[in-house]
Amino acid sequence: MPVFARYRVPVFEELGEHYEVYVVSSELDSFLGAGLEEFCFEGLKIKQHILVPTYKFLHSKLFYQSDLIKITKEVRPNKILVCAHSHYISYWFLLIYCFFRSIPVYSHIRGPYNRSKSFSNRIIYGTIYFLISKISTRTLLYTPNSLKRIEEFGLNKKRFTVIYNSIVNHYPIPPEEKDYSKIGILFIGRLREGCNLELLCESIIELRNENYPISLHIIGSGELCKFYTNKYNGGGYMKFYGDLYEQKEISEISKECIIGCYPGNAGLSVVHYMSLSLPCLVHDNIMNHQGPEPSYVRDRNNGRLFHYGDKESFKRTIKEMLDTGDLHLYGKEAYNTYLQLSNPSYAQRIINVLETLSE
């Protein structure tokens, strides 16, 4: 995998109960400025965590993760679960090597959710996903939306399995424990290009000028952290918590909020909001999102969608959420969505695929 993400710890912990797990990821130095943090695997059910250097080419359009084949030869794994990034040359080398060595490889990939159905995309990405599915033992997709796009590209869906990308929150807040009398909005995510936090902050300022006593709680850090804190940290109603990974603390902060919002290009944070019974507010252009997970948000069911790039639509949707009195209904459905995504767990869905194809 590229850089190890802390939210994947429960996944590897559960996989470690069934397998002897070796984790290979890029050294953090390869991704300086990405708003990521060092993480120690000590005490976890992981056999070994191997850090390797990653090199960038063509202005970071291509990558090469070192020593994957060498490590494969040394470890001699029965199965390999790999993050399938088509821009990683090393992924293709590993895939081809394992194909000829008869080592089962399960390619874990977002899918072409962010690619249009243009003729050129159908040729380019249709070919890429065809090759991945043909050489891999199985290709694991994040969401049903990803599988839908696979079918639209004319590919055989039988070689793909949807495993519903999600998180494990050990401190969820079910709807019966949620107080919707608070007027706060929660943001969780890296403060980076594309998060569009200024849209949320500016809208909060305008809404307060319209006598909405709304507050904003921002959890996360990144390359734009200093920019945002300098610009918006003076009002008292916008609180920046910085890097915060303890789920119990995040759940406590969420009790001050009744909406989970990602104003820019969202990803897995929407599932975290759902685990806290927070209706999700995201934009409606799935192809521009950071990941396919915002496709879990259903407008006027477990959250709301605003028109991509439209500030008035964004502010109007917040006002509608605050004024209509339906937030508790949206929150209940959001939590139900989280339960559906987490039962069985993400790790168990992976295990089910690994074991089914081994029979």
- Chain centroid to Cα 59, Å, comes to 24
> pLDDT of the chain along its 359 residues, tens only?
667 777 788 888 899 999 999 999 888 664 444 444 455 556 667 888 899 999 998 888 899 999 999 999 999 999 999 999 999 999 999 999 999 999 999 999 999 888 888 888 889 999 999 999 999 999 999 999 999 999 988 898 898 999 999 998 999 999 999 999 989 999 999 999 999 999 999 999 999 999 999 999 999 998 999 999 999 977 789 999 998 989 999 999 999 999 999 999 999 999 999 999 999 999 999 999 999 999 999 999 999 999 999 999 999 999 999 998 899 999 999 999 999 999 999 999 999 999 986 44
Instruction: Please report the pLDDT score of residue 116 as a whole number.
Output: 83
| Cα separation, 67 vs 2, whole angstroms | 13
Bridge partners of 199, per DSSP, are none
Instruction: Please report the pLDDT score of residue 324 as a whole number.
Output: 85
Q: How far is CA 298 from CA 148, 233, 286, in A?
A: 16, 32, 12
Q: Check if the beta carbon of residue 167 is closer than 8 Å to that of residue 259.
A: no
Beta strands in the chain, from DSSP E residues, in sequence order:
22-26, 48-52, 54-57, 62-65, 80-83, 105-109, 138-141, 160-162, 184-188, 215-219, 238-242, 259-261, 280-283, 303-306
**Angle between helical axes of 197-209 and 225-232 (0-180°, round to 10):** 10
Q: Check if the beta carbon of residue 253 is closer than 8 Å to that of residue 80.
A: no
- What is the secondary structure of 239-293 as a DSSP string? EEEES---HHHHHHHHTT-SEEE--SS--THHHHHHHTTPPEEEES-GGGSSSSG
Instruction: Please report the pLDDT score of residue 117 as a whole number.
Output: 80
| Cα separation, 128 vs 164, whole angstroms | 22
Instruction: Please report the pLDDT score of residue 115 as a whole number.
Output: 86
Instruction: Please report the pLDDT score of residue 1 as a whole number.
Output: 60
